[in-house]
Structure 1
Amino acid sequence: MEERNEIILKTVNRLLAENKLSKVTTILGKLYSADAAEVVTHLDERDQKKIFEVWAPDQSANTLLEMEEDDQVDIAESLSISAISEILNEMPSDDGADLIADLSKETAEKIFKVMKPEAAAEIRNLLKHDEKTAGGLMNPEVVTLKKSITTEEAIDELRKKAPEIENIYYVFVVNDENQLVGVVSLRDLIIASPKTLIKDIMNPNVIYVEAGVDQEEAAKIISKYDLLALPVVDQEQRLLGVITVDDVLDVVEDEATEDMYKLSGTIDIEESDVMRSPFPRVLQARLPWLAIAVVGEVVVVGTIAEHFKYLLATLPALAVYWACMTSVGGNCSFQASTVAVRDLAIGHINSKAIFLRIIKEMRLALVMGIITGGILFVIAFFWQKYLPLAIVVAVANVLIIILGAFTGTVAPLLFNSMGIDPAVSSNPFLALIMDAISLFIYFYIAALVLGKYSVF
């Protein structure tokens, strides 16, 4: 927390202790919404409720939007129906829909009854769309123009509509059926002659998405074409709303968080945050994969070790490099899969580049394997002073790194082709499989080098 905000927090706490709520809201109202949210977040729930009950709805709405989703819900549930309704009236409808979607249906209906009818209707329409789609992400408050009017008339119309709209990046052109037919930038409107018709300066080749498209795909489109806003239409090409770049930033953050959960083998729910969720929920979120890893390692590694125990009896020094083999295989696999998952997420991998990517990963793995294998060879040769052992660890290391890179690259691509989130390809279950393969390769190479073929 910044020093300035810490000073403000102390002041706010002192004023709250003196029950001077009007002074508190005055101070918070003069801050940027993000700073006000940071201060409010550090107050206890009782004081938060006091503030939001009396704070001007337009200011409190902006501050609430800057807070974490869980905090928003907690505050909304603590407020009276009239207070939260006034706040929702001031929110952009897409943000209001996100908040109401997290509340109980009973509470939501009570809020709708008190809200302004037009605001409630917009939120209800948004709630009809899945929250993970473009329709659930869009803001229905969008500026539209008819192609038959002049630029002068268009600018006059924009002046009237501007106060009601959150952001105006582009102006979309529609026909009498509200179908999207073009787009005009504000720059083109300003520099055009006043009597120029909109149809003469609009771009008819509009990039858009349908309401049912996944929000991640919408985010990719905005990123690919460097858009500030993306129109959303229905199947009949009627304009429903717009997704702005700030909405996409939230999507990118959510998707990145989701992938991080899956990469680590943590269940994809916010309850896994130990700082913000009850202990039982955190335990439930993190335990399953850990339990699988524990049992799996014992069973799989134990089985392989039992199968090759005669090698350990023949050359006990093999146990010294056991952990190294499993570690290097899992690490290399995770490196390759992390990069592959990231590139799949942002659309940098296509069908034409898959083979080339695998070849390049194999080349990189071969070089890394030779370098690290050489290091292991030197260590084993001068430490244990036994050439066969040095050969075993060096050769096994090279093969394990190559296989790890191949597995880490191919697994996300395979999962993605099957319609499964590629992030799950790096979870602890597959890491367990990689450990088993690495250990098997290590002992198999040892059996070949040491001439112990009888088991095969």
Structure 2
Amino acid sequence: MVKLNEQTREEYIEQIILSLQQQDVDTFRHLFLELHPMDQTDVFLRLQTEERMRVYEYISPDEFAEIFEGLEIEEQKTIVLELHELYAAEMFNHMFADNVADFLSEVKENSRTKILQAMNKEEAEDVRELLTYEEETAGAIMTKEFIAIKKTDTVEEVIEQLRREGPAAETIYYLYVVDRKGLLVGVTSIRDLITSHSDEKIEDIMSTQVVSVHVKTDQEEVAQIIQKYDFLAAPVVTDHNLLVGIVTVDDVIDVLEEETTEDFGEITASRGSTDVSLTSFQAARKRAPWIILLMFFGLLTAEVIGQFEETLEAVVLLAAFIPMIMGSAGNTGTQSLAVSVRALATGTLEKKGWGKTFLREFSTGLLIGLMAGIVIMVLLALIYQEMLIGIIVGVSIILSLGMASVIGTIVPLVIDKLKLDPAIASGPFITTLNDVISLLIYFTVATSLLQYL
């Protein structure tokens, strides 16, 4: 396999494209198939339609399967329309079942049925099974291409089985041991096989303490389990411990990316619009509802200011510090929100508990507020020669930042308890809520000390 550096990469790709344009099949196949599949995908995406049509002629469906798997879903939808039905069916037969299921879940029902009917019966059945599982569960992301062995087999028999079945499996590092009914009873590894005598029984080298996941386990929890144990794959079982598939580490990486993108979208109130391929209209349509809702919620800010109109009329200078107090509270609340959502996502909250997390963030908010409050008190006393104004703003900052930390921490925890995604306690939502509360604190403190001004 060719390893490309930046200096020779473009030259190599130019040779591939030139051989394709000159219809030099042998040179094209030699250069192109020497590349890593992901590099093949990158080259393929640079080709024009006419050049892609030649690729389908020059390489077989099973060779093209890896390239197709490296494409994004939207790219796959476009490319599959260019393929002959028989070529596409054979390509899908050589793809891993979970990747085929991912693609078919995004196409129309009639197209899905047509593709499944064209595929081999056994391959199609595996895909149909994966499509029956609820989205974002272990069952939906698992693959059916795994190696299952029996505990009564010898090491030599298993190695021979690997020679036959290994090329079609997604990973062979872990070998899962099942009984006659297909129930998971143990696990061993390639390392165990290599270091054992050929006539040794699998039951003598396998481990019976198998960490598995249920088909209905949430994909994020599956990712956490694989991350915790540093697995390359995890077996997926049913209620009766029947082994039905495995989730591999490459699927977990995709899950983590997907969940991070989703959480980022929730926290920024831009869920579904973080994809840069969306048009301006599509992005605006997805973001607008949140912004409009928060705009109406923000009207509470004007109502709070209106309730303390007399205080503002008495000391107009107080109005100058409203943006600072609101901004500081909003920023602090967003920081606590990020900490809380992250703790829930990684499971560290379960280890430390609500109480410790809540107390830590509240104390952090108060300490930040105390430092900021002291600084602002000194500055206002020096600039405006009004010690009391400095005290009002300083005390308000301390209390506002403390409350902002509490809100930023507790809101996602409550949402999580309601079995909802804690990330929906978005940054803009927390910021708007803290704006209202910080203003209430500010004007309450100012009103109570107004007689001394």
Do these two structures clear the TM 0.5 threshold for a shared fold by scoring above it? yes
Q: CA deviation at 1:193?
A: 2.2
Task: Go from structure 1 to structure 2 and tell me whether the alpha carbon gap of 1:86 and 1:308 turns closer, same or farther (over 3 Å shift).
Answer: same
1:208-219 equivalences under 5 Å are 208-219=212-223
Selected match of 2:85 from 81, 84, 92: 81
8 Å CA contact 1:137, 1:243 repeated in 2 = yes
Distance 2:420 2:452 in 1: 42
Q: CA deviation at 1:427?
A: 4.0
* Cα-to-partner distance string for 1:112-145 (whole Å, 9 max, x where unaligned): 2222222222211211112311111111111111
Find out whether 1:154 has 2:158 as its counterpart: yes
- Which of 112, 124, 140 does residue 136 from structure 1 map onto? 140
Deviations 1:333-376 (A, max 9, x none): 11111111112111111175221121222222222111111121
1:307-386 residue pairs with structure 2 within 5 A?
A: 307-350=307-350, 353-386=353-386
Counterpart position of 1:292: 293
Equivalent residue for 1:394?
394
Describe the SS at the equivalent of 1:240: strand
Number of the residue aligned with 1:283: 284
SS of 1:140's equivalent in the other structure is: coil
Listed as ranges, the matches of 1:62-211 within 5 Å are 62-211=66-215
C-alpha distance in structure 1 between counterparts of 2:363 and 2:234, whole Å? 41
Secondary structure at the counterpart of residue 149 of structure 1:
coil
Deviation at 1:327, TM superposition (A): 0.9
Deviation string, structure 1 residues 70-94 (Cα, Å, up to 9, x no partner) = 2223323443433322221221111
SS in 2 for 1:195: coil
* Contact 2:413–2:422 (Cα < 8 Å) also in 1: yes
State the Cα distance separating 1:14 from its structure 2 match.
6.1
Letter in 1 for 2:330: G
Percent of pairs with identical residues: 31
Distance 1:218 1:437 in 2: 39
Q: 1:251 aligns with which of 237, 249, 255?
A: 255
Does 32-41 or 404-413 show the bigger shift?
32-41
90-99 or 191-200, larger mean C-alpha shift: 191-200
Whether the 8 Å contact between 1:338 and 1:426 is mirrored in structure 2 is no
Residues 96 and 123, structure 1, Cα contact 8 Å, conserved in 2: yes
CA RMSD of aligned residues (A): 2.5
| Alignment map for 1:1-80 (pairs within 5 Å) | 5-7=9-11, 18=21, 20=23, 22=25, 27-43=31-47, 48=52, 51-52=55-56, 55-80=59-84
Structure 2 letter corresponding to 1:349: L
Aligned to 2:416: 416
For residues 389-440 of structure 1, give each alpha carbon's deviation from its aligned partner in whole angstroms, at most 9, with x where no partner exists: 1111111011111111111111111111111111112342332111111111
How far the C-alpha of 1:13 sits from its partner, in A, is 6.2
On the 8 A contact 1:49/1:75 being kept in 2, the answer is no
From the superposition, tell whether residues 231 and 66 of structure 1 become closer, same or farther in structure 2 (CA, over 3 Å).
same
Instruction: Output the CA distance in 2 between the equivalents of 1:29 and 1:263.
Output: 43
Q: 1:36 to 1:449 in 2, by over 3 A?
A: farther
**Structure 2 vs 1, CA of residues 411 and 149 (structure 1 numbering), >3 Å: closer, same or farther?**
same
SS of the equivalent of 2:350 reads coil
> What per-residue deviation string (whole Å, max 9, x for no partner) do you get for residues 156-178 of structure 1?
22222111212112111111111
Contact 1:341–1:423, Cα closer than 8 Å, also in 2: yes
Q: Give the C-alpha shift of residue 27 in structure 1.
A: 4.2
Q: Deviations over 1:227-261 (max 9, x none)?
A: 22111112221110111111111111111111001
Q: Secondary structure at the match of 2:231?
A: coil
Per-residue deviation at 1:384? 2.3
Matched position secondary structure for 2:425: helix
Q: Distance in 2 between matches of 1:131 and 1:90?
A: 23
Partners of 2:451 and 2:8 in 1: CA distance: 72
* Cα pair 2:64 2:91 within 8 Å, conserved: yes
Question: How far apart, in 2, do the equivalents of 1:423 and 1:28 lie?
Answer: 44
Matches of 2:313 and 2:325 in 1, distance apart? 19
Letter in 2 for 1:258: E
- How high is the TM-score relative to the length of structure 2? 0.91
CA distance in 1, matches of 2:208, 2:201: 14
For the Cα contact (< 8 Å) 1:61–1:91, is it kept in 2?
A: yes
Q: Distance between the aligned counterparts of 2:201 and 2:308, measured in 1?
A: 82
Q: Distance in 1 between matches of 2:212 and 2:357?
A: 31
Over 3 Å counting, the alpha-carbon distance change for 1:14 and 1:324 in structure 2 is: farther
- Once the two structures are superposed, what CA deviation does each residue of 1:271-295 show, in whole Å capped at 9, x if it has no partner? 542x312332112112111222333
Partners of 2:52 and 2:266 lie apart in 1 by: 34
Q: Structure 1 length as normaliser, TM-score? A: 0.91
Does structure 1 conserve the Cα–Cα contact (< 8 Å) formed by 2:37 and 2:67?
A: yes
* Letter of the structure 1 residue corresponding to residue 303 of structure 2: T
Distance in 1, Cα, partners of 2:311 & 2:113: 70
Shift of 1:63: 2.1
Q: Which moved more, 1:29-38 or 1:354-363?
A: 29-38
